[in-house]
Structure 1
Amino acid sequence: MLRFSGFELDSERAELRTSDGGTIRLRPKSLEILRLLASNAGRVLSKQQLMEAVWPNVHVGEDSLFQCIREIRTALGDGKRQVVRVISGRGYLFQAEVTEVPVPAAPEIAPVSQPVPVASDTKATVEANNEPAKRLFDFSRRRIAFASVAGLAILCTAIAVWMLRPGLIFARGPTTIAVMPMTDASSDPLVAQMAADVSSRLTDGLAKIENIRVLAPETGAPKADFVVKGELQKSEQAWSIRMRMTNTATGEVTWTASYQVNPADTDLQMQQSRLAAGVGHALALRINELLNADGPSATKSKVVIEQATAHINQTSPERFQAAQAILEKALAEDPDNVEVQVALAALLMRGVQMVWLGTDEREAAETKAEAMLQRTLRAKPNYIPAHEAHCRFLNATNQFSASLVACARALSFDPWNGIALYHVGLAQIQLGRFEDALATFKQADRFDTPQVSRWTWMIGAGWANMLMGRAEDAVPWLLKSIAITAASGRTHMLLAAAYQQLGKTEEARAAMEKGRELRPGSTVQNVPTPRKNSSPVYIEAAERIMQLMAAAGLPEG
Structure 2
Amino acid sequence: MLRFAGFELDQRREELRGADGTPIKLRPKTFEMLRLFATSGGRVLSKQELMEAVWPNVHVGEDSLFQCIRELRSALGDDRRQLIRLASGGGYLLTAEVEVEPEVTAGGEVAPLAQAVETRPPAPASGSMIQATSQRSIFGFSRRAMVAAVAGLGAIAGLAVAAPVLKPDLLFRRTPPRIAVMPIVDASSDSRGVVMAAEVTGRLVDGFAKIQNVSVVAPGSAAVAGVEPAGLPAASSDYEIRGELQHGDQSWTLRARMIKTTTGEVQAVAAASVAADEADAQLAQSRLAAGVGHVLARRLNEMLVPSAPSSSPRGSSAGGDKVALEQALASINQTTRERYGAAQSMLQNALTEDPDNVDLAVALASLQMRGIQMVWFSPEEAVAVEARANATLERALRSKPNSIPVLEAHCRFLSATNHFVKSLVTCAKALSFDPWNGSALYLIGLGQIFLGRFDDALATFRQADRYDTPPASRWTWLLGAGWANLLMGRDEEALPWLQRSIAITPATGRSHMLLAAAYQRSGRFEEARAAMAEGLRLRPGTTKLNVTPPWKNVSPVCLAASARIVQSMVDAGLPEQ
**1:423 to 1:50, Cα distance in 2 relative to 1, 3 A:** farther
Distance 2:339 2:304 in 1: 32
| Partner residue, 1:275 | 288
Residue 186 (structure 2) aligns with = 184
Report SS of the residue matched to 2:236. coil
Give the aligned partner of residue 24 of structure 2. Answer: none
Q: Does 1:525 align with 2:545?
A: yes
Q: Is the 8 A contact 2:286 2:466 kept in 1?
A: yes
C-alpha distance in 2 between matches for 1:531 and 1:46:
47
Write the mapping of 1:385-464 to structure 2, written as runs, cut at 5 A: 385-464=405-484
1:465 aligns with 2:485: yes
Rounded Cα–Cα distance in structure 2 between residues aligned with 1:53 and 1:201: 16
User: Is 1:487 paired with 2:487?
Assistant: no
| Alpha-carbon spacing, 1:295–1:428, altered in 2? closer, same or farther (3 Å) | closer
Paired residues of 2:253 and 2:273 also in contact (CA < 8 A): yes
Distance 2:529 2:546 in 1: 19
**Which of residues 213, 231, 236 is equivalent to 1:223?**
236
For 1:527, what is the secondary structure of its paired residue?
Answer: coil
Matches within 5 A, 1:255-266: 255-265=268-278
2:405 equivalent to 1:380: no
**Separation (CA, whole Å) in 2 of partners of 1:324 and 1:475:** 33
User: Residue 115 of structure 2: which of 45, 63, 85 is its match?
Assistant: 85
Shift of 1:556: 0.6
Task: Specify the code of the residue in structure 2 equivalent to 1:514.
Answer: E
8 Å Cα contact 1:314-1:487 kept in structure 2: no
Aligned pair in 2 of structure 1 residues 248, 504: CA closer, same or farther (>3 Å)?
A: same
Q: Which residue of 2 aligns with 1:194?
A: 196
Residue in structure 2 matched with residue 535 of structure 1 by the alignment:
555
What amino acid maps onto 2:216 in structure 1? V
Per-residue deviation, residues 207-259 of structure 1 (Å, max 9, x unmatched)? 00012110131334121011111110111200011111111111111111111
Mapping 1:546-557, distance limit 5 Å: 546-557=566-577
1:33-72 alignment runs, 5 A limit:
49=49, 52=52, 58-59=58-59
Local SS of the residue matching 2:436: coil
Structure 1 Cα separation of the partners of residues 423 and 346 of structure 2:
28
Q: Rate the CA distance shift 1:423–1:57 in 2: closer, same or farther, 3 A.
A: closer
Query: CA offset at residue 187 of structure 1?
Result: 5.9
CA distance in structure 2 between the aligned counterparts of 1:535 and 1:88, rounded to whole angstroms: 34
Q: Is the 8 A contact 1:59 1:204 kept in 2?
A: no
In 2, distance between residues paired with 1:472 and 1:386?
Answer: 38
Distance 1:295 1:395, change over 3 A: closer
Is the contact between residue 312 and residue 319 of structure 1 (CA under 8 Å) also seen in structure 2?
no
| Residue of structure 2 in register with 1:285 after alignment | 298
Residue 235 (structure 1) aligns with: 248
CA change 1:57–1:508 in 2 (3 A) is closer
**Partners of 1:169 and 1:290 within 8 A in 2:** no
Of 385, 406, 421, the residue aligned with 1:365 is: 385
Matched, 1:509 2:529: yes
Per-residue CA deviation, residues 107-157 of structure 1 (Å, 9 max, x unaligned), is xxxxxxxxxxxxxxxxxxxxxxxxxxxxxxxxxxxxxxxxxxxxxxxxxxx
Q: Secondary structure at the match of 1:211?
A: coil
Tell me the CA shift for residue 54 of structure 1.
Answer: 11
For residue 533 of structure 1, report the CA deviation from its aligned partner.
0.9
The alpha-carbon distance between structure 1 residues 434 and 379, as it changes in their structure 2 partners (threshold 3 A), is same
Residue 204 of structure 1 is matched in structure 2 by 206
Kindly provide the amino acid, as one letter, of the partner of residue 305 in structure 2.
Answer: N
The answer to whether the 8 Å contact 2:188/2:245 transfers is no
The 8 Å contact of residues 274 and 284 in structure 2, kept in 1 or not, is answered as yes
Q: Quick one: distance in 2 between partners of 1:472 and 1:406? A: 33
The letter of the residue matching 1:224 is S
3-state DSSP class of the match of 1:239?
strand
Q: Please name the residue that 2:97 is paired with.
A: none
Q: Which runs of 5+ in 1 are unaligned?
A: 1-36, 63-72, 74-78, 91-96, 101-162
Contact 1:198-1:272 within 8 A present in 2 as well: yes
Give the match's secondary structure for 1:521.
Answer: coil
In 2 relative to 1, CA 89–495 (structure 1 residues): closer, same or farther, beyond 3 Å? farther
Task: Give the drift of 1:300.
Answer: 4.7
Report whether the alignment pairs 1:322 with 2:373. Answer: no
Question: Displacement of 1:87 after TM fit?
Answer: 4.1
C-alpha contact (below 8 Å) 1:175/1:225 kept by paired residues: yes
Match of 1:135 in 2: none
Q: Is the contact made by 1:44 and 1:87 (CA closer than 8 Å) also made in structure 2? A: no
The structural deviation recorded for 1:396 is 0.7
Q: Which residue of 2 aligns with 1:254?
A: 267
**TM-score, length basis structure 1:** 0.72
Q: Structure 1 stretch 509-518 or stretch 250-259: which is displaced more?
A: 250-259
More off after superposition, 423-432 vs 330-339: 330-339
Q: What displacement does 1:98 show?
A: 9.6
Judge conservation of contact 1:255–1:286 (CA < 8 Å) in 2. Answer: yes
CA RMSD of aligned residues (A): 3.2
Asked if the contact 2:55–2:209 (Cα under 8 Å) also holds between the matched residues in 1, the reply is no
Q: Which has the larger radius of gyration?
A: 1
- Work out the CA distance in 2 between the residues paired with 1:255 and 1:234: 22
CA-CA distance at 1:530 after TM superposition:
1.4
Q: Is the 8 A contact 2:328 2:364 kept in 1?
A: no
Deviation at 1:485, TM superposition (A): 0.3
Change in Cα spacing, 1:486 to 1:57, as seen in structure 2 (3 Å) is closer
| Contact 1:387/1:409 (<8 A) preserved | yes
* CA contact 2:203–2:286 (8 Å) conserved in 1: yes
Q: Is the 8 A contact 2:544 2:575 kept in 1?
A: yes
Distance 1:254 1:520, change over 3 A: same
Distance 1:435 1:257, change over 3 A: same
**Among candidates 324, 329, 337, match of residue 304 of structure 1:** 324
1:22 corresponding residue in structure 2: none
Shift of 1:86: 6.2
Would the alpha carbon gap of residues 183 and 480 (structure 1) be closer, same or farther in structure 2, given more than 3 Å must change? same
Q: Give the Cα–Cα distance (whole angstroms) in 1 for the partners of residues 439 and 58 of structure 2.
A: 28
Aligned partner of residue 258 in structure 2, secondary structure = strand
Cα gap change, 1:552/1:45 in structure 2, threshold over 3 Å: closer, same or farther?
farther
- 2 CA distance for matches of 1:532 and 1:278? 36
Residue 58 of structure 1: how far off its partner (Å): 3.0
Letter of the 2:462 counterpart: K
Q: Is the 8 A contact 2:324 2:343 kept in 1?
A: no
1:304-344 Cα distance to aligned partner (Å, 9 max, x none)? 21233455665333322221111112122222212111101
- Tell me, in whole angstroms, the C-alpha distance in 1 between the residues paired with 2:279 and 2:170: 38
Q: CA offsets, 1:466-511, max 9 Å, x none? A: 0000110000000000000000111000000000001111000000
Identity level (%)? 58
| Equivalent residue pairs, number | 433
SS at match of 1:368: helix
In structure 2, the residue matched to 1:76 is none
Q: Summarize the Cα distance change of 1:312–1:295 in structure 2 as closer, same or farther, 3 Å threshold.
A: closer
Cα distance change on mapping 1:86 and 1:494 into 2, 3 Å: farther
